[in-house]
Structure 1
Amino acid sequence: MIPLHTVEDVKSAEQNAVEAGVTESELMIRAATAMFHEITEHYEDIGHAVILAGPGKNGGDGVVLATLLDGAGWSVDVWGWNRDDNAEVPVETESLEQIIWVTGVQQLKESLESADLVLDAVFGAGSRLELPEDVIEAFGIVRDQQESGYLPVWAVDLPSGVSADTGEASEDVLSADVTLTIGLPKVGLYQQPASGICGEIRLVDIGLDSAIEPKSASACLLTSDLARRALPDRRTGIHKRTAGTLLIIGGSPNYYGAPRLTGESAMRGGAGLVMIAAPSSIIAPIATAVPELTFLPLPVSEHASAAARMAEIVGKHIDEHDALVIGPGLGTETPVPEFLGQLLGFGQPGRSGIGFGSFTDPEPVDPFTGRAVIDADGLNWLSGVEEWWKVLSGAELVLTPHAGELARLLEVEREVIEADPWKHASDAAKKFGQTVVLKHGHTVVASPEGPVYVAEYAPVGLATAGTGDVLAGLIGSMLAQGLSASEAAIAGVAIGSEAALILQEWAGQTGYLASDLIAAIPEAREFVRTSQPLISVRNQS
């Protein structure tokens, strides 16, 4: 488990390391060396780097990094702000003399014209948000050069002008493609607006883990290592029905792609048998696309009277499955509310109720006590049911809302959720007594007890239609394979993130589809399981 830390935590860990015999110079060398490896592993060829270095330790890290890159054959220019003395930088004078020191606006412009990489090492954790005018000007010159062509920016520790504690940022900050955060992950970098400024966040290890004082963490990174502990192992002799059976309740004439994506995702995630309960009119196109799925045809009707028949059909099959996914593409119009109310033990909507918030029960049905993911229109239905969590207290649920859906569940405005998403995800988990997966920025997993787990990555390509359905299928698959609600959520988010990263390697940052994501799930799942990447068929062709 990797806790997210405050600036005070980092300073304390560094001080503890120094008191244990590690010099500040050694910490600086470790940081620069680790960043050097990150850069040279990313760039196969040597190039021209421009490093913007400030007066403190962060600038010192940048200067040491400059000498390492220079020694590896890179052309390196350093623009320094208030960096007049490098006496405390742990490098030889001869190495410093090999670096080209850039001064003035014109020299910086000329240097950037041939640059392959810019490194922002001006300010680090604990520095002010307000940026000096000279730094603002330098950042503006970089942005001007970016308008002329692609010029990546990597931040050393964090983008200058970002708060490592709160995620607040200066309006003049220079956005990074990659942030090499040093020593310990900083809590503010995973919060908005910082998470949209940092790009991909990579943790640079300098040995501070052993120097941090143990304490209970309110937020931790959701990593592949964390998910690996929960993933089930396949054993010889396993059968499709013992590998996990999942029932998906979803789909409508306008949204038959959603259950199809959920179903295929669940199978790619390892479920042995997946059945979709959907209106009979939409089954043919789904079956054509994914013949491995099985189906439970439901009546096609817009009348409330069909709800009882639908609940009866589905109810007979619930106990045959290890878990359910409720909601993808289901719709919210009649007879959906009546159907879900009867299926899950809320009874039928009473005539005196407004919408479907009040129920009577002429033929009592026991409340649902199984295991399920509730997504999309399933969540929209829940948000209209008064104190639904009391009725479903015996169930083990994973709720997968985006910010708007969570706002409806908590009866607040969307802006309230977006202002402090981790807090509200945690509040919802405690209020409802269920696991909550909030899809906003870095996806978070919150349980009634324990810390909030924050996804290590937030691939921007996931902002496309259908990826929420894919995630619901992955989590449902994990539930069906025997994981607890929180374990299933963690594993599903980790595998989904890794699948997106795999796609980025060959398709780029955006433009891939939810169905492309599904194709990458087996490779992503195997990486999470073993920590070893597969030799992809794509790479062999």
Structure 2
Amino acid sequence: MLRAHTVEQVRRAEQAAMAALPDGALMQRAAAGLATAVVDLLGGAYGRRVLLLVGAGDNGGDALWAGARLAARGARVEALLLSEHAHDGGLAALRAAGGWATRALDELGDPEVVLDGIVGIGGRPGLRPDAVAALERFAAVPVVAVDVPSGVDVDTGELDGPHVRANLTVTFGTHKVAHLVDPAAAASGSLHLVDIGLDLPDTAVEALQPDDVRALLPRPGPDAQKYTRGVVGVRAGSATYPGAALLAVAGAGSGLVGMVRYVGPDAVADRVRTAHPEVVGEGRVQAWVVGPGGGDDAADMLAAARADDVPLVVDADALRHVDGPLPGAVLTPHAGELAAMLEVAREEVEARPLEHVRAAAQRWGCVVLLKGHHTLVADPAGRVRVTTTGVPWLATAGAGDVLAGLVGALLAAGLDPFDAASVGSWVHGAAATEAAGGGPLTASRVAVQLPRLVRETLAAPRSRSLR
């Protein structure tokens, strides 16, 4: 499991580690990992041109010590000091290794990479004008953020003012919330974790890894039959949106349960059974998927599904009819739908998705899956799982219908709502990545890819989970 810790948790762990280690050992470990990552990015050190943007905190010290290591390997290293109080030891080491430091922006050369050591994990969102000017001067140069992109809110992933947009973030000890939660996650670029030996507690924000998904995916036992594997029902589609029913059924019928039932308008039901002849009609189910393309019938669909007293996936049109707590349910809104449910502007949800998804989970007493670049799955207790699989091409019509069906199948197969939502989101994103192959895709192609992705995940050798 990839875990993202808060600033307070990291600081306590660092203090405990420093009490047991020689002075400066943690910074040296961080600097060594940072320098190695920069060498890998550049394809070498000798003759390369590196600029350090250095603030007053420990991140500035990490950048200076890493710069000293790079200079000792033949790189041309310059440091722009953005504070009156640079890390003394790191600055002395940089100069001793042949590096150079200045406070004048116009004295700098043309770097091949910029190291962002402006603000550490304790900094406030936003940047001072001198830092903004430096970033603007080298806007075309790749940026490596030291621990976190400067200017983001580390514990919430929120942005408020100018900030670094990194190509690569090299973080130490553990991932931070801002690495996983948008909008700051989008500013982090690729992530590289350097283990510096911290002993960290459990945390409320995490991201599933392939081994976690493999352990949670349902598998039929040797004595399985179609009813014991789970039966999922789909109430979706309308004369206006018949395709939503077809896609939700395709997601539900990915092979993870023994049977899929469809209930909806006769004309839509005929199309569903033509496309999916294995699908049957109304009867007992272990979970319902309600709402995709339901239109004016969505309220009745939700009421009928609730009457069965089984877990629900509530999506699309049915979300407008959630009028109270829904224990055991998974709500699957995008930002606009969640904004309408919470009676706030969409922009507020997009700016503070972690805050809003947690508020929604608590308000409706159930799991809420907020779809986005990094989908968030929250439970009423405040636990959050972040989905890091997927590609921008997944932002396509009908993809959410496939996801709703897939989550419903996992519910019917016996996963609890939090696991069903987070595993479903991970599998959906991973299948989309494979189906896209670096280019455009459609929701139907994602659905077709699901069984293959599940097979590959179950068959893959066990890997070491990131932390």
Instruction: Give TM class, smaller chain.
Output: 0.7 to 0.9
Range with bigger deviation, 133-142 or 441-450? 441-450
Select the residue among 176, 186, 194 that pairs with 2:166. Answer: 176
Identity %: 34
Match runs of 1:413-432 below 5 Å = 413-414=345-346, 417-418=349-350, 420-432=352-364
Residue 223 of structure 1 corresponds to: 208
Partner AA of 1:368 in structure 2: D
Per-residue Cα deviation, 1:106-129 (whole angstroms, up to 9, x for no partner): 665x624xx3x5432332211354
Match runs of 1:479-498 below 5 Å = 479-498=411-430
Contact kept, 8 Å, 1:283 with 1:295, in 2: the verdict is no
Aligned length, in residue pairs: 458
How far apart in 2 are the matches of 1:196 and 1:50?
24
Contact kept, 8 Å, 1:154 with 1:179, in 2: the verdict is yes
Q: How much has 1:488 moved relative to structure 2?
A: 0.8
Contact kept, 8 Å, 1:526 with 1:532, in 2: the verdict is no
Select the residue among 123, 143, 147 that pairs with 1:157. Answer: 147
Partner AA of 2:318 in structure 1: G
Q: Does 1:260 align with 2:271?
A: no
Per-residue Cα deviation, 1:446-484 (whole angstroms, up to 9, x for no partner): 223352334456854443322322321221121122111
Q: How much has 1:284 moved relative to structure 2?
A: 6.4
| SS of residue paired to 2:308 | coil
| SS of residue paired to 2:338 | helix
How far apart in 1 are the matches of 2:213 and 2:388?
12
Q: Which runs of 5+ in 2 are unaligned?
A: none
Partner AA of 1:322 in structure 2: Q
Contact kept, 8 Å, 1:51 with 1:121, in 2: the verdict is no
Cα RMSD (Å) of the superposition?
4.0
How far apart in 2 are the matches of 1:44 and 1:241?
56
The structure-2 alpha-carbon separation of the partners of 1:121 and 1:502, relative to structure 1 and needing over 3 Å to count, comes to: farther
| SS of residue paired to 1:136 | helix
How far apart in 1 are the matches of 2:401 and 2:239?
17
Match runs of 1:380-529 below 5 Å = 380=320, 382-383=321-322, 386-387=323-324, 389=325, 396-411=328-343, 413-414=345-346, 417-418=349-350, 420-440=352-372, 442-449=374-381, 451-456=383-388, 459-500=391-432, 502=434, 506-507=437-438, 511-522=440-451, 524-525=453-454
Match runs of 1:333-348 below 5 Å = 333=296, 335-338=297-300, 340-341=302-303, 343-344=304-305
Q: How much has 1:45 moved relative to structure 2?
A: 4.8
Select the residue among 256, 261, 274 that pairs with 1:270. Answer: 256
How far apart in 2 are the matches of 1:196 and 1:526?
30
How far apart in 2 are the matches of 1:528 and 1:90?
48
| SS of residue paired to 1:325 | strand
How far apart in 1 are the matches of 2:190 and 2:214?
22
Range with bigger deviation, 8-17 or 82-91? 82-91
Q: How much has 1:35 moved relative to structure 2?
A: 4.2
Q: How much has 1:96 moved relative to structure 2?
A: 2.8
TM-score using structure 1 length? 0.70
Residue 8 of structure 1 corresponds to: 8
Residue 81 of structure 2 corresponds to: 81
How far apart in 1 are the matches of 2:70 and 2:255?
42
Residue 136 of structure 2 corresponds to: 140
Partner AA of 1:371 in structure 2: P
How far apart in 2 are the matches of 1:182 and 1:281?
57
Residue 122 of structure 1 corresponds to: 118
How far apart in 1 are the matches of 2:132 and 2:244?
46
| SS of residue paired to 2:313 | strand
Range with bigger deviation, 242-251 or 448-457? 448-457
The structure-2 alpha-carbon separation of the partners of 1:152 and 1:328, relative to structure 1 and needing over 3 Å to count, comes to: farther
How far apart in 1 are the matches of 2:126 and 2:279?
59
Contact kept, 8 Å, 1:523 with 1:533, in 2: the verdict is no
Residue 29 of structure 2 corresponds to: 30
The structure-2 alpha-carbon separation of the partners of 1:323 and 1:131, relative to structure 1 and needing over 3 Å to count, comes to: closer
How far apart in 1 are the matches of 2:251 and 2:335?
23
Contact kept, 8 Å, 1:244 with 1:272, in 2: the verdict is yes
Partner AA of 1:141 in structure 2: R
Residue 289 of structure 2 corresponds to: 325
Residue 111 of structure 1 corresponds to: 110
How far apart in 2 are the matches of 1:523 and 1:33?
40
Q: How much has 1:328 moved relative to structure 2?
A: 1.4
Residue 185 of structure 1 corresponds to: 175
| SS of residue paired to 2:262 | strand
Partner AA of 1:507 in structure 2: G
The structure-2 alpha-carbon separation of the partners of 1:241 and 1:190, relative to structure 1 and needing over 3 Å to count, comes to: same
| SS of residue paired to 2:330 | strand
How far apart in 2 are the matches of 1:374 and 1:194?
28
TM-score using structure 2 length? 0.80
Partner AA of 1:111 in structure 2: D
How far apart in 1 are the matches of 2:257 and 2:35?
42
Contact kept, 8 Å, 1:262 with 1:473, in 2: the verdict is yes
The structure-2 alpha-carbon separation of the partners of 1:268 and 1:417, relative to structure 1 and needing over 3 Å to count, comes to: same
| SS of residue paired to 1:88 | helix
Contact kept, 8 Å, 2:290 with 2:305, in 1: the verdict is no
Residue 19 of structure 2 corresponds to: 19
Q: How much has 1:322 moved relative to structure 2?
A: 2.9
Q: How much has 1:154 moved relative to structure 2?
A: 3.1
Partner AA of 2:312 in structure 1: A
| SS of residue paired to 2:26 | helix
The structure-2 alpha-carbon separation of the partners of 1:91 and 1:101, relative to structure 1 and needing over 3 Å to count, comes to: closer
